[in-house]
Amino acid sequence: MKYAVISSFLGKTKDRFHEYNKALELEEKFRFASEIPDMSGLECVYPYEVNKPEEVRALMAKYKLGISAVNVNVKAEPEFRNGGLTSHDKAVRDKAVRFIKEAKDFAKAIGADKVTCCPLGDGYEFNFQADYAQNWNYLKQTFGEAAAYCPEIPLFIEYKPSETRGTCFLDNASKTVLLIQQIGLPNLGVTLDFGHSMYGGYNPAEDLCILHESGLPYYIHINDNDAKWDWDYFAGSKHILMYAEFLYYLKKFNYNDYLTSDTSPTRWDIKGTFEINNRLTTKLMKVLDKMDEAGFEQILQKGDYMATWKFIEENLFGWK
């Protein structure tokens, strides 16, 4: 597995009440990431964190880091407060699309192979607040236009149940797959965030299987939460068995892209937090390899969950 980290989490972060850690310049974030064991990439946020291709290319070379994705922000501008890609104002929608197009240009210029976008400002809070059909069509139009531009750089859409809106229009994996299928362009994929599936009431492993069977490309963010909110805890901290099942299917499907930490250290040591994500994931993958060698797939196919659980006790937990 290749590991990356969203660079925003390496510096100062904040919630509604507090700020955490200190602000870092871009080069300091590259240096910091290069010092985390097994970290080989960064996901950088465009346009607010990165916007100069020559600077990023130089930092990639200096610190020997790849770019797992360029994350384009279409929520922070004042005009996007009530939705960017689904704004009633075409000029605002056009601006959001322009951001994605520019992010594709930026990705191409630095040699990144994808852009990812989570349309968090596009949603609603109340009944009779939104015309759902109209907004669905806006999403098809805006994402379709953005995807058609610079087709050699795929656009991955990240779904999330809520934030900054009470309900995001793209709040689950199946709806995101449906949108992409209706757009009908080949260079669209889905960013699956483990925690977004968890707190949305879904099983991340099942969401992964839905994406795989859809035939769409997918890209992975790792973290954990309490299934009530998107706390971005470190991987496995709350749902270790679900995370193991998630990794089992990633391994089964031969996923070979980055696992990118979308994890917020807040009160915990930054380096230690991301080191846990990488270390724990690597250890679990090694255990899953041994489980395969011991015939786990054959046990699963028998459909006897008591036998499956006994195998998990003995081979995943090591309780023999």
The answer to whether position 7 is within a domain reads yes
pLDDT > 90: percent of the chain: 99
**Could you give the CA distance from residue 208 to residue 227 in angstroms, rounded to a whole number?**
17
Mean pLDDT of 142-171: 98
- Cα of first residue to Cα of last residue in the chain, in angstroms, is 29
User: Per the domain annotation, does 309 fall within a domain?
Assistant: no
Identity at 253, one-letter amino acid code: F
In the chain, the amino acid numbered 35 is: E
Overall average pLDDT of the 27-39 stretch:
98
Which band of pLDDT confidence, cut at 50, 70 and 90, is reported for residue 1? confident
Residue-wise pLDDT tens digits, 161-217 = 999 999 999 999 999 999 999 999 999 999 999 999 999 999 999 999 999 999 999
Looking at the domain assignment, is residue 133 inside a domain?
yes
Phi, psi (degrees; rounded to nearest 5) at 315: -105, -30
Q: Which domain holds residue 139?
A: 2-292
Closest among 149, 82, 65, 92 to 115, alpha carbons compared: 149
Within the chain, residue ranges assigned H as helices are: 26-34, 53-63, 90-110, 132-148, 173-183, 194-199, 204-214, 240-252, 270-293, 296-302, 305-315
Q: Output the domain CATH number for residue 25.
A: 3.20.20.150
* pTM for the predicted model, two decimal places: 0.97
Residue 317 lies in a domain: no
pLDDT at 10 over 90: yes
